[in-house]
Amino acid sequence: MSKLGPYASYDAETGYATWDHPTAEYVGIFERINVDIKGILHVGMWDFVEHDCYTKLVGTNVIGVEANKFIYETISKPVADRCGYKSFNACVYSEDGLEKQFYLANDCSSLSPVGNNSVKVVTKKLSTLVEENDIDMNQYDFLNIDAEGAELEILKGFEEHLKYINVIDLETSYDDRNNTGAFHDAIVEWLEQRNFSLAEMSDSYNYERWGDSVFVRNDRDLAPFDKTKYLLK
């Protein structure tokens, strides 16, 4: 689960976003950065705790992707189906057709070795998944990635469709805690080269040196957040 999430609050003194706040349900990153969204593409569903927030933001215009087949079939897909979302079981990455070991743990799963159990998976670019399923990316402008260290590789496999995205929320680490080579600074640099600016970071960077970072597109005007629309849902 992301430590920031779409409805985390913001501590003006530290400059970090915090999860635990009495107004967290009503504000969130979109009000703070003043950007409205129309659809959500979420990679790394797991238990999909964000679904209540997502429904209030965009109704059923949500696509979820989960690589762990057991979690997808028993938890992720039932939640998505109940909410009326589209969902897919796929291990998205920077290239199509790579055979990888996918590691399984009690509270997460990853291409990085996070547990003793693993299964073989074949990777697919997120762009390929979008094209194979005739997804109209004009309807999706927020990308949330929670992939335990594979975030940069997933972004690389989505570069041709990144032009549709206005806001990105993903996990980064100062210390490369998943040993993938994708340090926080490397992800910031990669996204800056593609017209995204770092907007805020979760407070966990202060004590764990990793957490969620939010990036906003900087090369076009974005629709302002419509709180009235959210409160009506």
Neighbours of 188 (CB within 10 A): 16
Model confidence band, residue 101 (pLDDT cutoffs 50, 70, 90)? confident
CB-based contacts of 78, cutoff 8 Å, min separation 6: none
How far apart (Å, rounded) are the C-alpha atoms in residues 106 and 148?
14
54 — pLDDT class (breaks 50, 70, 90): confident
Supply the pLDDT for residue 106: 56
SS3 content of the chain, % helix, strand, coil (to 5): 30, 30, 45
Per-residue pLDDT at 26:
36
Residue 182: which pLDDT band, with cuts at 50, 70 and 90?
A: low
What is the pLDDT, as a whole number, of residue 24?
40
| CA distances to 3, 44, 79, 82, 200 from 170, in Å | 10, 10, 21, 25, 11
Using the predicted structure, report yes or no on whether residue 5 has a pLDDT greater than 50. no
pLDDT at 216 over 70: yes
pLDDT in tens, 69-99: 888 999 899 999 999 999 999 999 999 999 8
Mean pLDDT of 151-169: 96
- Look at residue 201 and tell me whether its pLDDT is greater than 90: no
DSSP-derived 3-state class of residue 117:
strand
pLDDT at 13 over 60: no
Percent of the chain scored above 70 by pLDDT? Answer: 74
The number of helices, as runs of H, and strands, as runs of E, in the chain is 8, 13
Highest mean pLDDT among 51-55, 121-125, 205-209: 121-125
Average pLDDT score over the chain: 81
Residue 173, helix vs strand vs coil: strand
Q: Cα separations (Å) of 19 from 31, 137, 143?
A: 15, 29, 19
Give the CATH superfamily of 9-89+134-231.
Answer: Vaccinia Virus protein VP39 (3.40.50.150)
Position of tokens 């070991």? 101
* Residue 179 in this model has a pLDDT that exceeds 60: yes
Residue that wins the pLDDT comparison between 26 and 122: 122
Q: What is the pLDDT of residue 173?
A: 78
Residue whose C-alpha is closest to residue 231's, from 25, 17, 33, 83: 25
pLDDT at 233: 54
- Average pLDDT over every residue of 138-157: 92
What pLDDT is stored for residue 162 in this prediction? 98
